[in-house]
Amino acid sequence: MANLVVQRDIISREIIKPSTSTPPHPSTYKLSTFDQISPSGYVPILLFYNNQAPNGSCQVMEISRILKNTLSEILNLYYPFAGKIEGNTSIDCNDTGVVFTVFCLKNKLVDILAQPDYNILEMLFPDNLPWNTNQDGNLLEVCASFFNCGGFSIGMCFSHKIADACTMQLFLNDWAAMTRQPGIKLRHPHLLEESAFPPGNKFTSQGPQYLRGRNPVTRRFVFSPLKIANLKARVVSSSTVQNPTRVEIVTSILYRCLLKASKINSGSLSPSTLIVAVNLRPRVVPSLPDNSIGNAVWAFMLLINEETKMKLDMLVAEMREGRRKFFEYLKSMKGSQWFSVVQTTHANLNSTANLCICTSWCRFAFYEADFGWGKPIWVCIPKSPFCNTIVLLDSKDGDGIEAWITLEEQVMSTLESDDELLEYALLNPSVI
């Protein structure tokens, strides 16, 4: 599979507009503090479907037609996604529309999933779109790719200016429900806008400069439920932390092994900061509706500056305590206070060395996105240009975790051969 050649033909590329014009009164969507501070690049997600219907041009055209029609319908509810960014403060909800691209591939779906290739996955999106900024300024682009076996994939790129992972899965599942059950009545999404986290002076994000590195390399490590259970047993036997979560366990072992790899390559342990992203919706006071769209994510940080803190049980304990303190801190925060806190923290991050950021998309319902042809058989992301990043996704069984890690090439080479990590995780196993 290492020599797999993908033959991709573009069938169509068009703009999908809301089926009903957005009325004048919500024509401007004001960006919140977290929207403004988010980088302008696209956050991608890729879902594969094992459609058993006979393949052919009729099937491609019919599925594409259905998806486009229901996308047009769902944009009536999620109308800001069809607009344009104005500066870094608002979205003009002018019904510009969403770009929808259709590809046909001469390969079978099994060819892609038998041994996932990071470069090939990137081809299931419009060229150079994932993680990057689209000069046209569209807030959402969709790409449907059809394989010659009848399977297909849906790749979506959401502007980070209006979407975090929670927003992405809300949009995706509402669109899927509308496709699967025509005429279904859906809840109107709750638009966070600036009222939830009011911005102060205009803030222009320069992007996560602290994540820029040389020769970024992405790898996928998969932790089965059994291996996660073994890790939990190892931690509980030597720690005061009871019943650690999947995310705590996997984040800790990955960070431990990353610290070891960095130490091997640099010759010594340098102070390092782990940034752990948290969905704020259920944590702020008062809590936000679970169907809130926009960015509602911030993070707590762990500083590791000595060898003893690299032990797995110590890392889990530090993470548990850091999360507890962060949740207590959130109770005292009011909307108008967020701007200065976020701006100061962001500036400090860009001037701090040896950072690693971990984002968990676990428990978000990406695997529930059934458009009427079954649930996804695999959900993934393409390779990333941002070094020292970890993105965690559920495996299809809902209990395992797939970790997508991006590091500088030399550090990744060391991590890939770490016996401790490979005892618990498989490196890019087959999806089939």
Question: DSSP per residue over 332-374, as a string?
Answer: H--GGGHHHHHHHHHHHHTT-SSEEEEEE-TTS-GGG---SS-
* Residue in 92, 117, 370, 399 annotated catalytic: 370
What is the structure's pLDDT at 127? 82
Higher per-residue pLDDT: 237 or 164: 164
Cα 419 to its chain centre, rounded Å, is 28
Q: How confident is the model at residue 137 (pLDDT cuts 50, 70, 90)?
A: confident
**What pLDDT does residue 401 have?**
98
Domains (ranges, CATH) in the chain? 8-196 (3.30.559.10), 209-427 (3.30.559.10)
Is 370 noted as a catalytic residue in this protein?
yes
Pseudo-torsion of CA 384, 389, 395, 398, nearest 10°? -140
**Distance (Å, rounded) from C-alpha 14 to C-alpha 31?**
27
CA distance 300 to 82: 33
Catalytic-residue membership of 190: no
Q: How far apart are CA 219 and CA 403, in angstroms?
A: 8
* pLDDT exceeds cutoff 70 at 318: yes
Cα–Cα distance list, 205 to 36, 136, 274, 387, 389 (Å): 7, 19, 21, 18, 19
Instruction: Kindly state the average pLDDT of the residues 348-354.
Output: 71
Residue 384 token pair = 């990333």
In this predicted model, what pLDDT tens digit does every residue of 143-169 receive, in sequence order?
Answer: 999 998 889 999 999 999 999 999 999
Closest CA to 39 of 175, 148, 160, 153: 160
Catalytic residue among 35, 95, 111, 160: 160
Question: Which whole number is the average pLDDT over 386-400?
Answer: 95
| Sequential DSSP letters for 205-235 | ----GGG--SSEEEEEEEE-HHHHHHHHHHH
The DSSP bridge pattern shows strands 90-92 and 140-146 to be unpaired
Report the C-alpha gap between 63 and 66 in whole angstroms. 5
- Mean pLDDT for 69-86 is 95
Looking only at the bridges linking them, the beta strands covering 378-380 and 42-49 are antiparallel
Q: Mean pLDDT for the chain? A: 90
Instruction: Write the Ramachandran bin of 61: left for phi over 0, alpha for psi from -120 to 50, otherwise beta.
Output: alpha
pLDDT per residue over 266-306, tens digit each?
A: 888 888 899 999 999 999 988 999 999 999 999 999 988 88
- Among 238, 213, 210, 200, CA closest to 343: 200
* 186, burial (CB in 10 Å: exposed 0-12, middle 13-18, buried 19+): middle
Which pLDDT belongs to residue 1?
Answer: 44
Distances (CA, A) of 187 to 78, 177, 190: 11, 11, 9
Q: Name the pLDDT band for 369 (thresholds 50, 70, 90).
A: very high
In what helix (H) or strand (E) does residue 401 lie, and over which residues does it extend?
A: strand 401-408
